């Protein structure tokens, strides 16, 4: 299976070459596509796929965005045993949204027991046009058979379950996959998803803040996030930049944690793990940890001790979603 994650800054592809109880061989590649036209991005993707897969293969794609509908509802276990359970779920969802769900691809899963009589259901819906658009970006590659599309947040969870630290099986974890424009938020209770959310915040917010404060081009601001020598040269104060640019993310995280605890989805947050390209920003993990009072760490799935092969380990944070997609099976699944 090939996982394909088409971001606004990088295109990432990943293939699991070998997997057994002792080791996993991964072939992962990525390339910068920032500010490129649609056809240019397609050509970059085709070149990456030619390197990773010269023959016919299966592909799984990812979809993300603030416009994806995610809701959790509590229903009786009696209803869950009914053949009309899906109808009951949709009835509950329709009470909280104004969208025409006929235009959406829908999926739901039971996440946990609330009590002896009730359980919690996580519902997700992606607009069918959004799915068509993502498929159109790769459907002309004749050597690929697209067998599924899933949400970035669920692909991220796949990666964490397979490659995450051992403590993830026993703790309440918040995963943050920070891209250039979008951040996926996933709450895990001992390895199981209880809540997901996508927000319009990413590394670009930090870059633009640096650019505005220091009156420099965005390209240089992007480099400053990664290079200590440039920060020292201009007397850079990262903490002040983060205070200005990360406020929205911190506010959403605070409210989301409060919501999940109030809804009894989790009792407390043990740890926050950040991944994705923006997670490499100097000092970001420390800033989030201090702001929320929760131990916060960077997570690179490619440093798992069992991972071998052609994997560009330094770029692992960029490939968390693509790796999760590559772990899917050939059974068709759309969201």
pLDDT tens track of the chain, all 335 residues? 899 999 999 999 999 888 877 788 888 889 999 888 888 988 999 899 888 876 788 999 999 999 999 988 888 888 888 888 888 888 888 888 888 889 999 998 888 887 888 888 899 999 999 999 999 888 777 688 899 999 999 999 999 999 899 898 899 999 999 999 999 999 999 888 989 999 999 999 999 999 999 899 998 898 888 788 888 887 888 889 999 999 999 999 999 999 888 887 888 999 999 999 999 998 999 999 999 999 999 999 988 767 776 666 788 899 999 999 999 876 666 66
Q: Write out the two tokens for 73.
A: 């509802």
How many distinct structural domains can be found in the chain? 3
Alpha carbon distance 207, 178 (integer Å):
13
Q: Tell me, what's the pLDDT at 331?
A: 66
Q: Verify that 25 and 140 share a domain, yes or no.
A: yes
* H or E element that contains 294: none
Q: Verify that 160 and 103 share a domain, yes or no.
A: no
pTM listed for this prediction: 0.92
Q: Verify that 13 and 147 share a domain, yes or no.
A: yes
Alpha carbon distance 198, 184 (integer Å):
5
Q: Are 135 and 107 in contact (CB under 8 A)?
A: no
Alpha carbon distance 86, 66 (integer Å):
24
Q: Verify that 131 and 23 share a domain, yes or no.
A: yes
Nearest CA among 199, 198, 197, 194 for reference residue 172:
194
Alpha carbon distance 109, 98 (integer Å):
22
* Cα angle, residue 185 at apex, residues 95 and 335 outer, rounded to 5°: 60
Q: Verify that 180 and 225 share a domain, yes or no.
A: yes
Q: Verify that 143 and 198 share a domain, yes or no.
A: no
Q: Are 29 and 48 in contact (CB under 8 A)?
A: yes
Q: Verify that 311 and 289 share a domain, yes or no.
A: no
115 Cβ contact partners less than 8 Å away, ≥ 6 residues apart: none
Helix, strand or coil for residue 60?
strand
Q: Write out the two tokens for 146.
A: 């697209």
The CATH number covering residue 42 comes to: 3.30.420.40
Q: Verify that 24 and 140 share a domain, yes or no.
A: yes
Q: Verify that 44 and 155 share a domain, yes or no.
A: yes
Alpha carbon distance 225, 235 (integer Å):
13
The number of angstroms, rounded, from the C-alpha of 276 to the middle of its chain's C-alpha atoms is 8
Q: Are 183 and 262 in contact (CB under 8 A)?
A: no
Helix, strand or coil for residue 272?
strand
Q: Tell me, what's the pLDDT at 311?
A: 60
Q: Verify that 227 and 306 share a domain, yes or no.
A: no
Q: Verify that 229 and 324 share a domain, yes or no.
A: no
* Cα angle, residue 291 at apex, residues 205 and 210 outer, rounded to 5°: 25
Q: Verify that 279 and 174 share a domain, yes or no.
A: yes
Give the structural domain span for 275. 165-298
């Amino acid at each position: 299976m090939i996982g394909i994650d088409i971001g606004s800054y990088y295109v990432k592809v990943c293939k699991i070459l070998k997997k057994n109880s002792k080791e996993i061989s991964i072939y992962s590649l990525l390339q910068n596509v920032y500010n490129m036209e649609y056809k240019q991005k397609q050509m970059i993707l085709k070149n990456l796929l030619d390197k990773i897969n010269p023959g016919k293969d299966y592909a799984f794609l990812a979809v993300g965005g603030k416009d994806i509908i995610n809701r959790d509802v509590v229903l009786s276990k009696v209803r869950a045993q009914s053949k009309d359970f899906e109808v009951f779920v949709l009835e509950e969802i329709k009470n909280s949204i104004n969208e025409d769900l006929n235009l959406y691809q829908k999926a739901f899963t039971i996440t946990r027991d609330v009590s002896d009589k009730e359980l919690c259901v996580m519902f997700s819906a992606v607009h069918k046009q959004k799915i068509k658009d993502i498929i159109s970006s790769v459907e002309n590659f004749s050597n690929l058979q697209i067998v599924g599309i899933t949400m970035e947040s669920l692909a991220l969870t796949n990666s964490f379950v397979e490659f995450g630290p051992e403590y993830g099986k026993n703790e309440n974890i918040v995963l943050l996959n920070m891209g250039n424009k979008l951040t996926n938020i996933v709450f895990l209770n001992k390895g199981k998803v209880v809540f997901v959310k996508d927000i319009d915040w990413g590394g670009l917010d930090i870059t633009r803040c640096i650019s505005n404060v220091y009156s420099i081009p965005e390209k240089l601001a992007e480099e400053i996030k990664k290079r200590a020598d440039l920060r020292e040269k201009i007397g850079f104060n990262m903490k002040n930049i983060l205070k200005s640019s990360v406020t929205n993310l911190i506010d959403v995280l605070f409210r989301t944690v409060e919501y999940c605890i109030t809804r009894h989805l989790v009792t407390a947050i043990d740890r926050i793990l950040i991944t994705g390209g923006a997670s490499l920003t100097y000092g970001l993990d420390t800033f989030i940890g201090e702001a929320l009072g929760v131990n916060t760490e960077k997570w690179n799935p490619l440093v798992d001790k069992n991972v071998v092969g052609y994997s560009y380990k330094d770029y692992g944070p960029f490939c968390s979603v693509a790796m999760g997609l590559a772990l899917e099976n050939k059974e068709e699944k759309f969201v």
